[in-house]
Amino acid sequence: MTTATLAAGGDRIVVRSLLAALLTVAGSGGVSAQSAPPPPSAATQAPPFTVSGWSYERRGSDVHMFRCAQSSCGAGSKVSYRYYTGGKQMTLDQFRAGQEQIIKALEQRTPGQRITLLGVDGDKGTATPRMFKARRLTVTADGASEYQVSGLLIGGQGSASLISSARDEKASNDNYAKFAAAAKLVLAPKTR
């Protein structure tokens, strides 16, 4: 497996390519990763990318969970992502409606919890690449609050769902941005 490193805002992002062809991202700080041998089993397989300062654990066969291991990302912060093969056919309006359904389901699952949708952003149209992002505030029955950014990134090599949560809204947004930048590299279309 080939590893490439991208420096982003003082953090190190390590990208492990599982793609069968050369992936090249042009521009300052670009990353290239060579094709890899067949991937190991899901249980031992490393995540497609990591960000320095975060501890990693695999959840099930396809969820990559990271926990903040340094003060700059906010104590207790978490980021998780999941990859999907193939492109998703979704519009911004469909994403927004899906977020409203998710909020209702989460509130029903945990009595006394209230979730406020703070905003939904995204690309219009259906061309790739595109990205949708929802920002939420969750307040539990005991008054504890947590900010989440939940997004869907759609690229030429598939799509990824990404969720960042933190006690602080800025930390949640900043952590999401770091991981989204790395996810975009993995999802970028193959180049020759």
CATH code assigned at 8: 3.40.1000.10
Residue 192 lies in a domain: no
Give me the number of domains the chain comprises. 1
Q: Two tokens at 108?
A: 């029903």
Question: What are the Cα distances from residue 102, in Å, to 81, 93, 108, 115, 177?
Answer: 17, 14, 10, 10, 22
Spatial distance between the Cα atoms of 179 and 79, rounded to a whole number of angstroms: 8
User: Are the C-beta atoms of residues 94 and 149 closer than 8 Å to each other?
Assistant: no
Q: What is the pLDDT along the chain (192 residues), one digit of tens a residue?
A: 333 343 444 444 443 332 222 222 222 222 222 223 334 444 456 888 888 889 999 998 889 999 998 888 988 899 999 988 876 678 899 999 999 999 999 999 998 999 999 999 998 877 788 899 999 999 999 999 999 999 999 887 888 999 999 999 999 999 999 999 988 888 877 665
In this structure, is the dihedral angle defined by the CA atoms of residues 172, 173, 179 and 180, taken in order, positive or negative?
Answer: positive
Enclosing domain of residue 88: 3-187
Q: Two tokens at 191?
A: 């180049």
